[in-house]
Amino acid sequence: MSSVVRRILVCGLLAYAWLFIGATVAAPPVQHAGAQWDEPLRSFDAAIARYAALRASFEEPLPAFDDPRRDGWTLMLMRRYLASAIRTARLGAEPGVIFAPAAGAFRDIIARAIYEVDIEGLVDIAPGEDGFVLDLALNEPIPARALLAVPPPLLERLPPLPAAIEYRIATGALILWDTHAEILIDALPNAFVAP
C-alpha cells in the first residue's frame, strides 16, 4: 500500500473518530437568540466545529484552494476528492445531525429577523415555487441555480461559521454549504415558511 493511500486512510479514521466520538468545543453563544437558546447553539457550534475538523483533515494533503495558479480542472478534481472523502466519513450522517439540536433557535432567529427587519420575500420561499423541486441529500452537491444567498440582515444574526462553510437557502431550507467540497452539510427544512 502506498504512503499516500495509507496517509489518507489514517486521516479518514482519525476524522471519523473525531466526528463520532466527538470533542466538544465551547463557543460563545449568539447574542441575538436569547438565553434559552444558549445550550442548543453551543451544541450547534460543537457539531459544526467537528465537521470543520473532519474537512481540514482531508484538505491537509491537498494544494490550497485559493491559489490563483490552479486551473479549473485541478480545482474540480480537488473538490471531487474532498467531497468523496467527506461522503465516506459521514456515511451514516442523518439529516439534522448539525441543525437539529438548535432548530428552535434558528427558527426563532429567522422569525425575529423577518419581523424586525421585514426582509422582503423570505416568507414566500417554499419548496417547488422556483420551478423545480430538489431532494436535499446530505454530502451531495446542489445545482448552483438552486442556491440563494442569505440576506445580510439575517446573516448577521446567525451564528458565525468556520472558514469555507456558508449559510445558503435552497427550496425553502436554510442549509450549511461547504464551499470547498461543494456539498450540502446539513439542512433546516421549511425554515422560511410562516407558521
Measured distance CA(147)–CA(113) in Å, rounded: 20
Q: How far is CA 91 from CA 4, 27, 39, 132, 190, in A?
A: 22, 27, 27, 27, 24
- Strands 173-178, 183-188: parallel, antiparallel or unpaired by DSSP? antiparallel
Question: What pLDDT score does 21 carry?
Answer: 39
Full-model pTM: 0.76
Q: For the segment 71-99, what is each residue's pLDDT rounded down to a tens digit? A: 889 999 999 999 999 999 999 999 999 99
All domains of the chain in start order, with CATH: 3-188 (3.10.450.160)
What burial class does residue 86 get, using C-beta atoms within 10 Å of its C-beta: 0-12 exposed, 13-18 middle, 19+ buried?
buried
User: What is the chain's mean pLDDT, rounded?
Assistant: 80
**pLDDT band at residue 34 using 50, 70 and 90 as cut-offs:** low
